[in-house]
Amino acid sequence: MSPTATPKGAASLRAHDVKPQPPAKGPKAKAAGLAGWVDDRAGAAKPVSYLLKKVFPDHWSFMLGEIAMFSLIILLLTGTFLTFWFVPSAGRVIYNGSYVPLKGIPMSEAFKSTVDISFDVRGGLIMRQIHHWAALMFTISITVHMFRVFFTGAFRKPREVNWVIGTILSLLAINEGFTGYSLPDDLLSGTGLRAAEGFMQSVPVLGSYLAYFVFGGAFPGEAIIPRLFTVHVLLLPAIIIGLFTAHIVLVAVHKHTQYPGPGKTNDNVTGYPFMPVYIAKAGGFFFIIFGITALMAALVTINPIWLYGPYDPSPVTAGSQPDWYMGFADGALRLFPGFFEFHVFGFTLSLNVFIPSLVVMPLIYSIAGVYPFIESWVTGDKREHHLLDRPRNAPTRTGLGVMAISFYLILFFAAGNDLIAIKLGLSINDITRAFQVMLLVVPPLAYWVTKRICMSLQRRDHDLVLHGRETGRTVRTAEGRFFDVHEPLPEHERWTLVQHETLTPLQPTATVDANGIRRVGTRRERLRARVSSFYFADGVHPVSPAELASAQHDASAHEAVESGHDSGAQGSSAPKWVGQLHGGADERPETDAYASHEDGEDPGPTAAR
Amino acid sequence: MSEHDPELAERPGSQPSTAARRDHRPDQGHIEVSDGIPEHFANPGLPPHVSRSADLDETAARRAARQVATLFGLSMMATVMFLVAYFAIDPKTYRFIPGIGQANLSNIVLGVTLGVSLMCIGLGAVHWAKTLMPDTEVTEDRHPQRSTDDARREAVKTVVAGGTASQLTRRPLIKYTLGGALGLFALPLVVQLAGSLGPLPKADLSTTFWRKGMRLMRDPEMTPIKASDVTLGSVFHVMPEGIDKSAHVLEEKGKAAVILMSLDPAVITVPKERDWGHDGIVAYSKICTHVGCPVGLYEHRTHHLLCPCHQSTFDVTQDCRVIFGPAHRPLPQLRITVDADGYLVAASPFREAVGPSFWERG
């Protein structure tokens, strides 16, 4: 459509919408047999048909959460199998199974039964390895799903609570993973538990009591394995399933968010119905995820505890690393300098352990959890948002997100400082120092670079809408001048680039009212105005129809429009959307050649100040 | 919109442009006109539907159906192969697999057949959905999450009426005692759990198995060490004599582990270290003062002890002072001497708590 077309209301958008079809009438539509029996007793027809007709939008990034959901199902399934053979006991036995190198070695029943699952239970190893791989898949997909939700602004009203539930789920998932890999009581995980006991001891005042309560006495004791087992197979899964159910119910209640695009509005949801399309796609996807996990478990060994041997407090292997999702916490421990341990009045305050081990993780998750509330306070925006942001259109948020990820990744890689030192032949001390410096320097830099990239991308969108796409065709005019032909964007493509709104920073209010009396709460408002300007001061407005019309007017006045460079389009207030010719500097007066941005001819990207 | 965003209008300092935009949202297709040109572009609506080849051509549709059926068929075959492999392959069979090396054949075959069986179901279903199921986009309307004002009033009324009917508001005595009872009822559960989880630590963290006169034994052989056998530059992992007979072997080992090194007495810079050792042979707690990993890596040229968990580095020539890494305190030294037979023995127990810091360790 041309920019001067008569405005239409929102209702006109739906003129061509396809609504869900009512069920077919006739004898086949009658619920019969088992379905009829169930409906007679539960009245399920209406809710079931509502759910089956539910529309889900389509996008690859919406599958990330699905991967987490399906990994959880795989974990529950294979985990249940493992409990049939695993013995959660620290009782000492002498190994006499079929793995020769361990014969005659004393070990816990937990370790022995895990070795038995791996070597003597038919198909036991494949179930164990599927379980462990699925756990890694679960945690990574939750993390990447969180990134998607954050960068697209899907956490905004009305989904703040679901974001909080999601962050709690993520935190529980990594702790569920830790309790799980600690169960086999092998040398590697036992060293991890030893460190965990050290973390508890570092708690100010209560540390030693906490450690003795959790471990049922001195480390390692016989209580921790059965206790971890209960936590791993009952307590945490129950909470995770409960919260996951709430998470998914809220998704259904809110209806899924969708990416902006032609036909997508904030008060519709456009996609495919659950029955039959998503039953097949999502159901099929479950089998694909399960299949990939099984293939990984078949072909790539994971956690070969028989090579580590049973736990013993005295030996240790070099290169001890936790599973990847605990890497950031381990990295924090490696980077936090020792001088944070203090000795005051005869007591020891071991902040060098307490902060990185027990404060950093909850702190990171708390900041993530409250972010939606911070952002909605800054914007003052209390409206519902069902259309996602393109990350470039929220440069500050995207920058903050990348900043957080870079912080996390530096901690993560710091947990491998010893491996990096060995593989690259560098000094471990230099690497550790470098990570310490990077932890402070890189995140702000990542924020700044990301924000600039986002704004450049916005300006590129802006340019694309104003000047169209280069066609690669060059046209020579009668006078001998050359022009590149630019093709305007089709309306459906253009919409995605111009649909977003930009927010302007809040202005600080006067500190005194009309009568010269100090107003209450102005300090808070000034702070809010400052944060708001941090967020929105350098926004790039999307192209408006007026800007586009004026750009085309310029183009047609100075240049020639392909369709009729004899007369027609010259000076027309309604330029035809056939094509624009962009020449070099030569068609303009020489004084003007490089000054188009200053003299306002080309509106260009303007900052929304 | 207007019924659920009145707050936006009250945004302190909102600019006219923002306030003007309040009543319409471009993302909902609202547009506003000034001077004949709309202020925003209008949503053009769904792009025209493009049919797939299977929609137009029955041959393509039949081909797609055959592909789906083939995938489902492959899945069945893989399942049968899994079942055969389960019984036919002994779980202790090892074979060389290219790219993997010596591997458990049963695990690989079971995993691959299971994986293929599952994958083919999934791929078949997705292919079916993408080629044959309707791909016309369907639109559903959204409604604000907020209930209508009437419904809200009704809910408040019900709650208030319930409060009144139960006389909760009229009889504060019930209110306060109920509050007290509900506030306290969880305490027995909390106290039972917290109180019974474990014993109090008492002095347990500050003491070890080491006693005066105990021989230093090689770990794990548990043989005594003659001072004359300790050559310059050698290192021994050490446990106290009799620890393997103790009632709580692992718990005692977790505190008593010691590392013994032999240095040239001239390089030792701290007199106390030299005095507590024997002719350049010194013994230190092997439990890291950071979070308790065994400090197992000794580099005899530099005399550095390195903890493999978090890379704390201790300099043995300086009484195991921390020279790098997140630990703060030096490793505690065990005072040793030799007995009448020339074996190394402890001259006294550890003088301070070994292992990670805790509040009351002093």
CA nearest to B101 within chain A: A299
Asked if B106 has any chain A CB less than 8 Å from its own CB, the reply is yes
Q: Which of B82, B309, B314 to mutate to test the interface with A (most CBs of A within 10 A)?
A: B309
In whole angstroms, what is the distance from residue A176 CA to residue A236 CA? 6
In whole angstroms, what is the distance from residue A179 CA to residue B255 CA? 24
SS3 A448: helix
Asked if B254 has any chain A CB less than 8 Å from its own CB, the reply is yes
Q: Which of B1, B46, B50 to mutate to test the interface with A (most CBs of A within 10 A)?
A: B46
In whole angstroms, what is the distance from residue A139 CA to residue A357 CA? 19
Phi, psi at B59, each rounded to 5°? -65, -45
Chain A contact set for B36 (CB, 8 A): 4
CB contact under 8 A, A214 and B198: yes
Return the pLDDT at A429. 93
Model pLDDT for residues A14-56, shown as the tens digit of each residue: 666 766 665 555 555 566 788 888 888 999 889 999 999 999 9
In whole angstroms, what is the distance from residue A330 CA to residue A327 CA? 5
Residue A284: band (very low, low, confident or very high) from pLDDT cuts 50, 70, 90: very high
Report the mean per-residue pLDDT for chain A: 86
Asked if A210 has any chain B CB less than 8 Å from its own CB, the reply is no
Model pLDDT for residues B204-247, shown as the tens digit of each residue: 999 999 999 999 999 889 999 999 999 999 999 999 999 999 99
Return the pLDDT at A599. 41
Distance of CA B352 to the CA centre of its chain: 32
Residue A320 in this model has a pLDDT that exceeds 90: no
Q: Which of A290, A353, A522 to mutate to test the interface with B (most CBs of B within 10 A)?
A: A353
Rounded to an integer, the average pLDDT of B336-361 is 94
Of A281, A382, A506, the CB nearest to B5: A382
Of B5, B43, B239, the CB nearest to A13: B43
- Give the contacts of A376 (CB within 8 A, at least 6 positions apart): A156, A157, A160, A382
In whole angstroms, what is the distance from residue A544 CA to residue A551 CA? 11
Chain A contact set for B29 (CB, 8 A): 8-10, 12-13, 265
Cα distance from B70 to chain A (closest Cα, Å)? 15
Cα distance from A554 to chain B (closest Cα, Å)? 17
Q: Where in chain A are all domains bearing CATH 1.20.810.10?
A: 62-313+324-389
End-to-end CA distance of chain A: 30
Asked if B361 has any chain A CB less than 8 Å from its own CB, the reply is yes
Nearest to A404 by CA among A360, A449, A368: A368
Chain A contact set for B356 (CB, 8 A): 197-198, 201-202, 350, 353
CA nearest to A299 within chain B: B108
- Give the contacts of A404 (CB within 8 A, at least 6 positions apart): A367, A368, A443
Nearest to B51 by CA among B125, B131, B158: B131
CB contact under 8 A, B328 and A387: no
Residue A73: band (very low, low, confident or very high) from pLDDT cuts 50, 70, 90: very high
Asked if A555 and B46 count as a contact pair (C-beta separation under 8 A), the reply is no
Residue B352 in this model has a pLDDT that exceeds 80: yes
Model pLDDT for residues B144-188, shown as the tens digit of each residue: 999 999 999 999 999 999 999 999 989 999 999 999 999 999 999
Q: Which of A354-359's residues contact partners 24+ apart within 8 Å by CB, and which partners?
A: A354/A199, A354/A202, A354/A203, A354/A204, A356/A329, A356/A332, A356/B326, A357/A195, A357/A198, A357/A199, A357/A202, A357/A329, A357/A332, A357/A333, A357/B291, A358/A199, A358/A200, A358/A202, A358/A203
- Give the contacts of B182 (CB within 8 A, at least 6 positions apart): none
Q: What DSSP assignment string belongs to B218-232?
A: ETTT--B-BGGG--T
SS3 B278: strand
CB contact under 8 A, B45 and A7: no
Q: What DSSP assignment string belongs to B284-308?
A: EE-B-TTT--B--EEETTTTEEE-T
Of A269, A338, A387, the CB nearest to B322: A338
Asked if B221 has any chain A CB less than 8 Å from its own CB, the reply is no
Q: Which amino acid type is present at position A134?
A: A
Asked if A454 and A399 count as a contact pair (C-beta separation under 8 A), the reply is yes
Write out the H or E segment, with its range, that includes residue B276.
helix B271-276
As beta bridge partners, residue A186 has A310
CA nearest to B32 within chain A: A7
CB contact under 8 A, A287 and B138: no
Fold entry, domain A62-313+324-389: Cytochrome Bc1 Complex; Chain C (1.20.810)
Of B11, B121, B308, the CB nearest to A380: B11
Phi, psi at B347, each rounded to 5°? -85, -20
Cα distance from B283 to chain A (closest Cα, Å)? 15
CB contact under 8 A, B29 and A506: no
Structure tokens at A574: 């309604």
Asked if A340 has any chain B CB less than 8 Å from its own CB, the reply is yes
Asked if B213 has any chain A CB less than 8 Å from its own CB, the reply is no
Across A291-365, where does the E strand assignment appear? Answer: 341-344, 347-350
Chain A contact set for B143 (CB, 8 A): 267
Asked if A462 has any chain B CB less than 8 Å from its own CB, the reply is no
Asked if A211 has any chain B CB less than 8 Å from its own CB, the reply is yes
**Torsion sign, CA atoms A72, A75, A79, A81:** positive
Q: Which of A4-10's residues contact partners 24+ apart within 8 Å by CB, and which partners?
A: A4/A545, A4/A549, A4/A574, A4/B36, A4/B37, A5/B38, A5/B42, A7/B31, A7/B32, A7/B33, A7/B38, A7/B42, A8/B29, A8/B31, A8/B42, A9/B29, A9/B30, A10/A265, A10/A267, A10/B28, A10/B29, A10/B30
Nearest to B227 by CA among B175, B187, B282, B167: B282
Of B122, B251, B310, the CB nearest to A221: B251
- Neighbouring C-alpha atoms within 13 Å toward the C-beta of A16: 13
Asked if B316 and B282 count as a contact pair (C-beta separation under 8 A), the reply is yes
Return the pLDDT at A550. 84
Chain B contact set for A120 (CB, 8 A): 91
| CATH architecture of the region B205-361 | 3-layer Sandwich (2.102)
- Give the contacts of B248 (CB within 8 A, at least 6 positions apart): A218
SS3 A159: coil
Return the pLDDT at B156. 96
Residue A501: band (very low, low, confident or very high) from pLDDT cuts 50, 70, 90: confident
Q: Which amino acid type is present at position B87?
A: F
Asked if B96 has any chain A CB less than 8 Å from its own CB, the reply is no
In whole angstroms, what is the distance from residue A560 CA to residue A582 CA? 9
User: What count of CB pairs under 8 Å joins A to B?
Assistant: 437
Q: What is the dihedral angle through the alpha carbons of A449, A454, A459, A461, rounded to the nearest 10 degrees?
A: 150
CB contact under 8 A, B309 and A201: no
Asked if A9 has any chain B CB less than 8 Å from its own CB, the reply is yes
As beta bridge partners, residue B308 has none
**If contacts are CB pairs under 8 Å, which of residues 311-330 in chain B contact chain A?**
311-313, 322, 324-329
Of A191, A348, A387, the CB nearest to B358: A348
- Give the contacts of A196 (CB within 8 A, at least 6 positions apart): A178, A182
Write out the H or E segment, with its range, that includes residue A461.
helix A428-467
CB contact under 8 A, B43 and A432: no
SS3 B323: strand
Return the pLDDT at A13. 63
Model pLDDT for residues A99-120, shown as the tens digit of each residue: 999 999 999 999 999 999 999 9
Chain B contact set for A97 (CB, 8 A): none
Nearest to A164 by CA among A179, A151, A149: A149
Cα distance from A350 to chain B (closest Cα, Å)? 6
* Domain ranges across chain B: 2-38, 53-131, 205-361
CB contact under 8 A, B362 and A346: yes
Look up the ipTM and state it: 0.89
In whole angstroms, what is the distance from residue A290 CA to residue A296 CA? 10
Report the mean per-residue pLDDT for chain B: 89
Residue A123 in this model has a pLDDT that exceeds 80: yes
Burial class (CB in 10 A: 0-12, 13-18, 19+), B101: exposed
Say how many residues make up chain A: 609
CB contact under 8 A, A197 and B292: yes
**If contacts are CB pairs under 8 Å, which of residues 130-169 in chain B contact chain A?**
130, 133-145
In whole angstroms, what is the distance from residue B332 CA to residue A425 CA? 32
SS3 B45: coil
Return the pLDDT at B282. 96
**Number of neighbouring beta carbons within 10 Å of residue B94:** 11
Residue with tokens 């890999």: A181
Return the pLDDT at A117. 96
Residue B5: band (very low, low, confident or very high) from pLDDT cuts 50, 70, 90: very low
Characterize the bridge pairing of strands B94-97 and B37-38. Answer: unpaired
**Torsion sign, CA atoms A343, A349, A355, A357:** positive
Q: What DSSP assignment string belongs to A525-549?
A: HHHHHHHHHHHHTT-BPPPPHHHHH
Model pLDDT for residues A303-318, shown as the tens digit of each residue: 999 999 999 988 887 7
Return the pLDDT at B356. 95
